[in-house]
C-alpha cells in the first residue's frame, strides 16, 4: 500500500519534482558563479595592489548576503512548486505573527550575530587585513563572516569571536585612518656619554634600515635618566604595523652595533674602562 502511494505520488508530482530540482540546481549554480566572480575580481585587484581594504570588506560581506538570499529564495521557490505546499504556506502566513515571535526568541543570538556582522562590514571599525587589539590579543583580521570574525595572532592562533561581542567591544585599530605607524626603540647609555653624538649615530642607524619610511624624519630624545645612565628613545615611522615591528627589531640591533663600533659607552662601561 505504501509503495503504491509512493509510486502514485511520484507519478502525479513528477513535473513539480523536476521543476523544484531544476530551481535548486539553478540556485546552487548561480551562487557558485557569484562567489567565483567576486573572489576572482578581489584576487585580481589585490594582486595589482589597487583593492582598498574597505571595498574588499564590503564586497565580501555583500557576496555572503547575496548567497544567503539566493539559496533561501531557491528553496522557497522549489517548495512552492507543490500545490500542497502552497496550501500549507497560506496557513503559515496567516499565523506568521505568532511564528515570528517564537522564531525571534529562539534565534535571538544568531540574528544578533548576523546583524552585528553586517554592521561591522559596512561601518568598518576594522577591515580585512587590519591589525587590531581586542579581547587582550593583537592580531590580523582574516575573515568577517555573518556570525563570526576570524583574527590571526602573531603566533598563528585563530581567535574566533562572535560578531555581537566585537560590536560591543572597544577595539584598537593599528591600520585604519593613519597609514604610517611609529616604531619605538629605547636604549640605555652611560651618563658620561656624549648625547648629541649618540643621537646622530642612532638616527643614522635607523635611516639605514630597509623598513624605515623615508617620508618621516626619525627623532631621538632623552626620556629618563639615573645617576649612572641615560635612556634614549628613538621614534621612527614605518608604512604598516608589520613594517613597524620589523623596523623596531632591526633598528635596535643596528643602534647597538653602531654604539659599540663608535665607542658610545653603555651603562657602567665608561667606569670599567677607566
**Phi and psi at residue 158, in whole multiples of 5°?**
-115, 120
Q: How many domains does the chain have?
A: 3
If you average pLDDT over every residue of the chain, what do you get? 80
pLDDT of 153-184, one tens digit each?
A: 988 899 999 888 888 888 888 876 566 788 89
CB neighbour class for 34 (10 Å; exposed up to 12, middle 13-18, buried from 19)? middle
Is there a single domain that holds both residue 28 and residue 62? yes
The grid coordinates listed for 238 are 614605518
User: Residue 110 domain-assigned?
Assistant: no
Would the pLDDT of 46 be above 60? Answer: yes
User: Residue 106 domain-assigned?
Assistant: no
User: Residue 130 domain-assigned?
Assistant: yes
Q: Average of pLDDT values for 257-271? A: 85
Would the pLDDT of 1 be above 50? Answer: no
Is there a single domain that holds both residue 34 and residue 68? yes
Alpha carbon distance 205, 257 (integer Å): 9
Choice among 63-67, 148-152, 208-212, 250-254 with the minimum mean pLDDT: 63-67
User: Residue 26 domain-assigned?
Assistant: yes
Whether residue 172 contacts residue 241, with contact meaning beta carbons closer than 8 Å, is answered with no
Would the pLDDT of 93 be above 70? Answer: no
Whether residue 270 contacts residue 221, with contact meaning beta carbons closer than 8 Å, is answered with no
Is there a single domain that holds both residue 212 and residue 267? yes
Predicted pLDDT of residue 92: 45
Would the pLDDT of 34 be above 90? Answer: no
pLDDT band at 94 (very low <50, low <70, confident <90, very high): very low
Is there a single domain that holds both residue 264 and residue 197? yes
- Residue 263 — left, alpha, or beta (φ > 0 → left; ψ -120 to 50 → alpha)? left
Is there a single domain that holds both residue 214 and residue 144? no
Is there a single domain that holds both residue 186 and residue 154? no
Is there a single domain that holds both residue 228 and residue 211? yes
Would the pLDDT of 30 be above 50? Answer: yes
Q: Average of pLDDT values for 243-269? A: 91
Predicted pLDDT of residue 198: 94
pTM summary value: 0.50
Predicted pLDDT of residue 4: 44
pLDDT band at 249 (very low <50, low <70, confident <90, very high): very high
Predicted pLDDT of residue 10: 57
User: Residue 85 domain-assigned?
Assistant: yes
CATH number of the domain encompassing residue 147: 2.30.30.60
Is there a single domain that holds both residue 199 and residue 135? no
Is there a single domain that holds both residue 211 and residue 257? yes
Full residue range of the structural domain in which residue 228 is found: 181-273
Is there a single domain that holds both residue 198 and residue 260? yes
Is there a single domain that holds both residue 168 and residue 191? no
pLDDT of 178-191, one tens digit each?
A: 667 888 999 999 99
Q: Average of pLDDT values for 250-258? A: 94
Whether residue 179 contacts residue 216, with contact meaning beta carbons closer than 8 Å, is answered with no
User: Residue 38 domain-assigned?
Assistant: yes
Is there a single domain that holds both residue 164 and residue 207? no
User: Residue 146 domain-assigned?
Assistant: yes
CATH number of the domain encompassing residue 230: 3.30.70.100
Given 144, 173, 202, the domain boundary residue is 173
Given 141, 173, 205, the domain boundary residue is 173
Percentage above 90 pLDDT, the chain:
25
User: Residue 57 domain-assigned?
Assistant: yes
Alpha carbon distance 252, 206 (integer Å): 8
Amino acid at each position: 500500500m505504501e509503495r503504491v502511494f509512493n509510486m502514485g505520488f511520484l507519478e502525479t508530482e513528477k513535473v513539480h519534482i523536476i521543476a523544484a530540482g531544476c530551481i535548486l540546481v539553478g540556485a546552487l549554480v548561480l551562487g557558485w558563479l557569484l562567489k567565483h566572480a567576486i573572489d576572482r575580481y578581489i584576487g585580481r585587484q589585490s594582486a595589482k595592489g589597487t583593492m582598498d581594504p574597505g571595498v574588499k570588506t564590503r564586497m565580501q560581506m555583500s557576496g555572503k548576503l547575496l548567497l544567503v538570499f539566493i539559496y533561501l529564495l531557491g528553496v522557497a521557490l522549489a517548495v512552492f512548486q507543490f500545490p500542497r505546499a502552497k496550501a500549507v504556506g497560506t496557513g503559515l502566513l496567516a499565523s506568521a505573527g505568532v511564528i515570528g515571535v517564537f522564531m525571534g526568541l529562539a534565534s535571538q543570538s544568531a540574528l544578533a550575530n548576523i546583524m552585528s556582522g553586517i554592521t561591522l562590514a559596512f561601518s568598518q571599525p576594522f577591515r580585512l587585513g587590519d591589525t587590531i587589539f581586542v579581547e587582550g590579543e593583537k592580531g590580523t583580521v582574516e575573515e568577517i563572516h555573518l556570525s563570526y570574525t576570524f583574527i590571526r595572532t602573531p603566533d598563528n592562533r585563530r581567535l574566533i569571536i562572535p560578531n555581537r561581542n566585537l560590536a560591543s567591544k572597544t577595539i584598537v585599530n593599528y591600520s585604519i585612518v593613519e597609514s604610517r605607524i611609529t616604531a619605538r626603540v629605547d636604549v640605555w647609555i652611560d651618563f658620561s656619554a656624549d648625547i648629541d653624538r649618540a643621537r646622530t649615530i642612532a638616527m643614522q642607524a635607523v635611516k639605514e634600515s630597509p623598513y624605515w619610511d623615508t617620508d618621516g624624519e626619525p627623532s631621538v630624545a632623552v626620556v629618563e635618566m639615573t645617576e649612572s645612565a641615560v635612556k634614549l628613545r628613538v621614534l621612527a615611522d614605518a608604512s604598516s604595523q608589520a613594517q613597524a615591528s620589523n623596523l623596531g627589531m632591526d633598528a635596535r640591533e643596528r643602534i647597538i652595533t653602531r654604539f659599540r663600533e663608535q665607542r658610545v659607552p653603555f651603562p657602567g662601561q665608561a667606569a670599567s674602562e677607566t
